[in-house]
Chain A
Amino acid sequence: MSFFGDLQISMIVLCSGLGLVLIGLWGILTQRNLIRMIIGFSLLDTGIHMVMVSIGYVTGGTAPIINDDVPMATAVSRVVDPVPSALVLTAIVIGLGVTAVMLSFAVRIFRARRTLMIDECTESKW
């Protein structure tokens, strides 16, 4: 820990999240294989989730679940913000649904074309 000085934990999560967003966007923009583009989308998605979680973090906070260790009386000063966590839960589920639909489009294209390279599907370009 001393090596990193006073680097905050949520800073690490935030930077990794932003990095994942960039990697995912790079994948979507440069890859020609549909599956790789979908993987890029998933990375982008995960990066956004990490950014959202890191924004909700409160220094020294724990999970917003009341129990013996986090009693109701002191909970306000000890837990992280529950709202971003709830939003991320929603975002994960929707990302999953979108990925499933994208994958089934990929299956359809593969079945019709026997290929996953978008360079081969040119008639609907532009």
Chain B
Amino acid sequence: MIKRIVILLVLLMLAFIFVNLAASYSEQTSLSALGHYYVEQGPSELGAANLVTAVVVTYRGLDTLGEVTVLFISAAGVGLLLRRTRRKDDHEDLEQGDRAEETAIARKPASEIVETATELLLPMVILFGIYVFLNGHLSPGGGFQGGAIIASGTMFLLLALPESHISRLMIAITESLSGFSYVVIGVLGVILAGGFLDNRIIGLGTYGHLFSAGAIPLIYVFVGLKVGFELSAVLDRFRKEDSGPL
């Protein structure tokens, strides 16, 4: 009872703070100094039409590298936590639980409509994901969004054909290679241009074209591949945990 009152009190106090915050809030009528600089200089300095991309990939590129690292660690954590241990000294309960889970998993297959739709739509979903991360510097979207779309394609596949096999080795290799290339591009920025993750290591190209904005499309391709495969691996881990580490 005391606990409930404390919780209520905490929420009420927080609500009080929020009401005061909202009451004193007024919409900005012009950009902040930093935003103003990015909007004014971004297109001519980096050649990216999508200014959010310019901020994410170049101005705040180090944050994005950290973000990719966090995602990698969480994917690794999921893999570690959901690994099915096959050791004999395991808890008896756990083994029983596993068996109960396996019988629960043996359910009806997906209907033919879902299966056919998946076969038809899966290539398009993946193609759309690739389109989104290739055009990240020109239109809404980018590596993370494209990667999430690719992972939703994997989700689709796992829902329709739960038995389909996803190669963990392929996922691991693609993921590590794209993460590595991302860092290599960052270091090349130090050597060839103004600093770590500077996108001007190759020419900026024609403004507004697919091959423009220097290394931004390259970085986004690697980010997109990495995120897509990482999220697919996470989804695969949640589906079944019995096929070993790779």
What is the interface of chain A, defined by CB distance below 8 A to chain B? 8, 10-11, 14-15, 18, 21-22, 25-26, 29-30, 56-59, 63-67, 72, 75-77, 79, 81-83, 85-86, 89-90, 92-94, 96-98, 100-101, 103-105, 107-108, 111-112, 114
Contacts and interface: CB of A to CB of B under 8 A. Distances in A.
A93 B32 CA distance: 25
B85 to A, nearest CB: 10
Given A22-B15, A90-B63, A98-B74, A81 B28 contact: yes
B165 interface: no
Interface of B: 4, 7, 10-11, 14-15, 18, 21-22, 25-32, 34-36, 38-40, 42-44, 49-52, 54-56, 60, 63-64, 67, 70-71, 73-75, 77-78, 81-82, 91, 93-94, 97-98, 100-101, 138-140, 142, 144, 208, 227, 231, 234, 237-238
Contacts of A108: 81-82
Contacts, number: 155
A105 B78 CA distance: 8
Contact of B22 (A18, A29, A79, A92): A18
B28 A25 contact: no
Chain B, interface SS category = helix
Contact of A81 (B25, B32, B49, B64): B32
Contacts of B14: 21-22, 25
Nearest to A82: B51
B144 A58 contact: no
Nearest to A98: B74
Contacts of A86: 52, 55-56, 60
A111 B104 CA distance: 13
Contacts of A101: 74, 77-78, 81
Contact of B31 (A15, A29, A72, A81): A81
Nearest to A94: B70
A29 B7 contact: yes
